[in-house]
Structure 1
Amino acid sequence: MTSRVLTVGFDLDMTLIDSRPGIREAYRALSAETGTYIDADLAVTRLGPPLEEELRNWFPAEQIEEMGDRYREIYPTYAIAPTLAMSGAREAVEAVRAHGGRAIVVTAKHEPNAKLHLAHLGIEADAVIGWLWAEAKAEALREHDAAVYVGDHTGDVRGARTAGALSVAVATGPCDAAELRSAGADTVLADLTEFPAWLDAYAAGADDRG
């Protein structure tokens, strides 16, 4: 039997939390403050990539850094309270702990804001690592020896595969199940409510192999 502690990584937006209501409000506030039109309803359908990629749709290149900084400053005021936990999120994290494992969050989001979301929703992670997107997520996954990474975006699949971790995808974000499978996800779940049963089967298999 292996002595390796099971570590499972989770993405944040649209995996553990439904941040669309909060992000919509933050974009609307930034739009009102700057006088620049932002289609907030459209923007929240494209969550996953770094903030700067979305801001390029609305601001000239020379303003992206300034607008990104300002968005992150106002974010706690507008985005934390409206954000909800995804169905099964708390139970998914608890399932990892029930197997004696560690649950970490690896996200492209500004790390302090990610921590605010988790604290507000009462989701306790063993570590929270921000500012990492797609293949760059492998840095944190390797550092924490994560065997599994759970996310909703094809970028999360790429991050898991780059790290040599098992990619478990949930079809709760902008990418549907077919896209996630095509990107190379090892397993695609409808949502996190299916994760505890999947983890039970995975852990049993790991014990058999160990």
Structure 2
Amino acid sequence: MPATPDVPLTVGFDLDMTLLDTRPGIRATYLALFAETGVFIDADLVVTRLGPPLLDELRNWFPAEQLPAALDRYRELYRDHAFAPTVALPGAYAAVEAVRARGGRVAVITGKYEPNARLHLEHAGLHADVLAGDLWAESKGEALREHGASVYVGDHLGDIRGARLAGAVAVGVATGPYGADELLAAGADVVLADLTAFPDWLAGHLDGVGVTP
């Protein structure tokens, strides 16, 4: 959906490994869950494959009957272990401000549990006009469409799938588990090394197609 005087520019961003490097905090949380439950979790492996739903990852370590309790406890432990070691990725603040400089709205569309995602943004000092959590791939696309996002920026192949479903421009950033070639092969319209390149890309995109609000 292009921006018009009646439909303001809305740019969606993924959270983990797009705006924030959450790997240290996620690793610390899994180690705490391992210590508490006695169920082995390879936290170093886990942080190499962030993106899919938390429950999918927990299934690799816990039997089915323990999954609900493990899920709830992980989310509780997350608040104690994850925020302090998390840092913004290069260019994150400038990317958000570039959208605002064009009169646009920032929508964070993430697979993370929404209350924890909100706390992450607050801790990092990043403001989102829209936040939608607990979403993955096509369900991200549904949220992007609902909020009128014309661009979605993410690091995962699932983010590209969501953008394509929504009819949004799919901007890949090679700051997560996939390189530029893999993101392009998945359907990304453009791939940036990181968000430091995003303000210039956005300016060229908007000016080139004449959709500056």
Aligned to 1:140: 143
1:207 to 195, 205, 210: 210
1:46 matched to 2:56? The reply is no
Task: Give the RMSD, CA atoms, in angstroms.
Answer: 1.4
Task: Return the alpha-carbon distance in structure 2 between the equivalents of residues 110 and 205 of structure 1.
Answer: 36
Aligned to 1:178: 181
Aligned to 1:114: 117
Aligned to 2:71: 68
1:15 matched to 2:15? The reply is no
Aligned-pair CA distance for 1:178: 1.0
More helix by percentage = 1
1:2 to 1, 4, 7: 4
Aligned length: 210
Aligned to 1:35: 38
Q: Percent identity?
A: 65
Q: Structure 1, unaligned stretches of length 5 or more?
A: none
Instruction: After superposition, give the CA deviation of every residue in 1:13-55 in whole Å (9 maximum; x if it has no partner).
Output: 0000000000000000000000011110110001000111111
Instruction: After superposition, give the CA deviation of every residue in 1:75-116 in whole Å (9 maximum; x if it has no partner).
Output: 110001110001100100000000110011000100000011
Aligned-pair CA distance for 1:209: 9.5
Instruction: After superposition, give the CA deviation of every residue in 1:105-163 in whole Å (9 maximum; x if it has no partner).
Output: 00010000001111001011111100110011012101110000000000000000001
Task: Return the alpha-carbon distance in structure 2 between the equivalents of residues 64 and 144 of structure 1.
Answer: 32
SS at match of 1:46: coil
Q: Show the 5 A alignment for 1:77-156.
A: 77-156=80-159
Instruction: After superposition, give the CA deviation of every residue in 1:169-202 in whole Å (9 maximum; x if it has no partner).
Output: 0000011111101100001000000000000001
